[in-house]
Amino acid sequence: MTQADIYDVTIIGGGPAGLFSTFYSGLREMKTKIVEASPQLGGKLNVYTEKIIWDIGALPPSPAGKVIEHLVEQAKVFNPTILTNTKIISIDRGTQDLFILTAENGDKHFTKAIMLATGYGILNPRKLAIEGAEKYEVSNLSYTIQGLEKMRDKIVVISGGGDSAIDWANLLEPIAKQVHLIYRQGELKGHESEVTRLNNNSVMLHLDSEIIELTANEDGDKITKVIIKQKDTLVEQTILVDEVVINHGFESEHELFENSSVGLEKIETHYVAANSYGETQVKGIYAAGDIVSYDGKVHLIAGAFHDAVNAVNQIKMYIEPSAFNRARVSSHNDKFSDKNQELVKIFFA
């Protein structure tokens, strides 16, 4: 390990909390690294890239994919080190007050402070419990929709009955040839307004039903029919399909907390105990975003930004005790003088 390998802050998680923390940490002149387990930055927003986010102050209603683009641009302003495909599996103490983060590939990362921005952990979609279903993931079985246009004039079967499945059904209804929504319960579990919308449009709702079989084309590489079964009547129905979308929720991995030796306290399965300044019970480790839960916490993107500012300011004071306890407002900040042209391009493009 050389001095160059040591960062002031290493941010684990590349969602809104991690990306905004990266920007803010640069603003406070800390040497910053952000590490993300998945191949792309953006966190949970990657689950709903096509959906419109309305509730980020001052931003016009924007698809989540666009919000990711803005967050990433902003995070890059102070040239941080950005690593994707880097899953951190443990945090341990090293010498000289350093922490050592170990990645799944064995790489070690050395840092003075840590920002946990891991959301609800690494999310993996709950898979369709039908043998062999995984081979269609490269053709017409998906767990998130990346591009509504792919569904134009297609027959789409969506399995699930929560907010996400209902939203997709409503979004696809005017685009697809026909949308079928299959749900194993007798009542949908979504926002009332979206359920009402669904009940009044052409989506074909199959309640108390589930997919029991997939039939493929002659080459065996694409689903052409799904067979569903109604659980009370046991009646089976065959539906011709072009695309199958499964929305059965997510399972989250928490290996990081299970393996780490630093003594982070869990208050639920996925939250780390931290106060509203992002301080965990381990000095030098801070947290922001969905991972934290304190009185008044807002589990939304706006809440993640608020947490990031507080936690980064705490980190600055941890690393440099004489530092001011908050950044000056960015609009008066000299650091931006040579960045202004770049920023103008980003935000007013």
Ligand X SMILES: Cc1cc2nc3c(=O)[nH]c(=O)nc-3n(C[C@H](O)[C@H](O)[C@H](O)COP(=O)(O)OP(=O)(O)OC[C@H]3O[C@@H](n4cnc5c(N)ncnc54)[C@H](O)[C@@H]3O)c2cc1C
| Binds ligand X (CB under 6 A): choice among 7, 9, 11, 17 | 17
28-67 residues in contact with ligand X (CB under 6 A) are 35-38, 43-45, 47-48, 53, 55
> Does residue 304 bind ligand X (CB under 6 A)?
yes
In whole angstroms, give the CA distance from residue 41 to residue 298. 22
Are 29 and 17 in contact, with CB atoms under 8 Å apart?
no
Comparison of 54 and 348: residue with beta carbon closer to ligand X: 54
In whole angstroms, give the CA distance from residue 245 to residue 145. 8
In whole angstroms, give the CA distance from residue 190 to residue 178. 21
Minimum CB distance to ligand X, residue 308 (Å)? 9
| Binds ligand X (CB under 6 A): choice among 26, 80, 284, 289 | 289
> Does residue 118 bind ligand X (CB under 6 A)?
yes
In whole angstroms, give the CA distance from residue 161 to residue 181. 8
In whole angstroms, give the CA distance from residue 30 to residue 315. 9
Binding flags for ligand X, 75-94, as an x/- string (CB under 6 A):
------------xx------
Closest CA to 200 of 235, 173, 239: 173
Whose tokens are 């039939």? That residue is 215
210-269 residues in contact with ligand X (CB under 6 A) are 256
Minimum CB distance to ligand X, residue 62 (Å)? 10
> Does residue 122 bind ligand X (CB under 6 A)?
yes
Residues making up the binding site for FAD? 36, 44, 48, 88, 123, 290, 331
CA dihedral of residues 8, 84, 120, 73 (deg, nearest 10): 80
In whole angstroms, give the CA distance from residue 70 to residue 54. 15
Comparison of 166 and 241: residue with beta carbon closer to ligand X: 166
Residues that bind ligand X (CB under 6 A): 12-18, 35-38, 43-45, 47-48, 53, 55, 87-88, 117-122, 164, 256, 289-290, 299-302, 304
